[in-house]
Amino acid sequence: ERVVLEARAVSKHFPVRRGARSLLGGPRLAVHAVDDVSLRLRSGSVTALVGESGSGKSTVARLLAQLYPATSGEILLDGRPVRAARGRALRAYCRHVQMVFQDPFASLNPVHTVRYHLTRALRIHDRAGSGRQDLERALTELLERVQLTPAGRYLESFPHELSGGQRQRVAIARAMAADPRVLLADEPVSMLDVSIRLGVLNLLRDLKERLDLAILYITHDIASARYFADETLVMYAGRMVEGGDSETVTQRPAHPYTRLLLASAPDPDRVTDGGGEDDRGGDATVPEEVDPSSVEPPSLISPPPGCRFHPRCPMAMERCRTQTPPRFDLDGGQWAACWLYDTPAGAPGAQPAGAT
């Protein structure tokens, strides 16, 4: 397992158009969608990125896919910084780093067949071969890879003739046509029937193992992260708050937000989407006593100072309201960005590692 794709202290701020919302009076407002995020994706490994709606998960994926530039920070492929890739360089990058989206129906063109979608992807990435036979072989191989067999049954189908799960498999096959090293899967199963989610996750796991893929698995559902991901990262309000191997993070969560997520996690058999709440009008005032579930996620236009979770945190201390907690390293590779772990070096369970 080596690091293929890395983000170092990446931030993305979206300028807010004036007059877009009534509460915006002053100039130069921005949505702090992602702040100071660092992560590493390793070959042959699934990394889950978990967090509630609006926490910045998709923005992280789009930054990694170079769909737009970061406001600050660096993205590295194989240890080399990727700066504003364009033209040929961008195409090479996209070959290595492919994306799969939540809604396979929206990502496939309804007027084209599976054959068209896959052939086009193979051609774009120069993998269609030279003759008719090469192409047929490549198409069959792709469909077999995503377990749509016999290939002949699916090649001439239109998206509406397939089930949701089959469509998502086609979308995955299309991503695989590039022969990528990294797959960014943004809630790949949340629109699918509960009964077929596991099948698609198992397929992704199989691809990871056979092709040594690095997979970023974005989800609301921390229970599925435990099942499916080697490593789990937790985001809250644009920041990364905890990370570690999935078993540890889900069994012994360190960050109060991760604990809240786990406490409210639906049981894994009926995982559903948290519903895309769009209106995040939370404020940054600090109630005396907090029932975390009753407090809205914070506004990302003026995020709470200090720890962004402090308005909802039952453990909040004075310093949490003003000082941003750095990452503290815990045992076994786990870490948490939380002042609770700012204990003297050598204290059981937590050793401060300083700022990242």
Least separation, in Å, of the C-beta of 309 and ligand ATP?
A: 15
| Site residues for Mg ion per CB under 5 A | 58
Least separation, in Å, of the C-beta of 155 and ligand SF4?
A: 51
Residue 250 burial (CB count, 10 A): 23
Q: Binding pattern to ligand SF4, positions 307-346, x when CB under 6 A? A: x-xx--x-xxx--x----x------------xxx------
Rg (CA), the chain: 21
Is the CB of 54 or the CB of 180 nearer to ligand ATP?
54
Q: Which residues inside 119-148 make contact with ligand ATP, applying CB under 6 A?
A: none
- Give the dihedral of Cα atoms 265, 188, 217, 274; nearest 10 deg: -30
What are 46's two structure tokens?
Answer: 């699934």
Tokens 């193979």, residue located? 122
Binds 325: which of ligand SF4, Mg ion, ligand ATP, none (CB < 5-8 Å by kind): ligand SF4
- For residue 282, what is the DSSP state? B
Is the CB of 126 or the CB of 318 nearer to ligand SF4?
318
Rounded to whole angstroms, the Cα distance separating 149 from 140 reads 8
Rounded to whole angstroms, the Cα distance separating 312 from 290 reads 6
Rounded to whole angstroms, the Cα distance separating 89 from 93 reads 6
Stretch binding ligand SF4 (CB under 6 A), from 78-86, 162-170, 173-181, 302-310: 302-310
Q: Does 71 bind ligand ATP (CB under 6 A)?
A: no
Residues 19, 23, 25, 26, CA torsion sign: negative
Q: Does 286 bind ligand SF4 (CB under 6 A)?
A: no
Least separation, in Å, of the C-beta of 58 and Mg ion?
A: 3
Rounded to whole angstroms, the Cα distance separating 128 from 124 reads 9
Q: Does 229 bind ligand ATP (CB under 6 A)?
A: no
- The single residue among 25, 276, 348, 354 that binds ligand ATP, judged by CB under 6 A, is 276
- For residue 178, what is the DSSP state? T
- The single residue among 31, 94, 122, 189 that binds ligand ATP, judged by CB under 6 A, is 31
Q: Does 14 bind ligand ATP (CB under 6 A)?
A: yes
Q: Which residues fall within 8 angstroms of residue 274, CB to CB, at 6 or more apart?
A: 52, 53, 220
- The single residue among 42, 51, 155, 246 that binds ligand ATP, judged by CB under 6 A, is 51
Rounded to whole angstroms, the Cα distance separating 25 from 18 reads 8
Rounded to whole angstroms, the Cα distance separating 176 from 192 reads 20
Binds 14: which of Mg ion, ligand SF4, ligand ATP, none (CB < 5-8 Å by kind): ligand ATP
In the complex, residue closest to Mg ion by CB: 58
Is the CB of 238 or the CB of 244 nearer to ligand ATP?
238
Q: Does 239 bind ligand SF4 (CB under 6 A)?
A: no
Total site size for ligand ATP, rule CB under 6 A? 14
Longest dimension (CA), the chain: 71
Q: Does 139 bind ligand SF4 (CB under 6 A)?
A: no
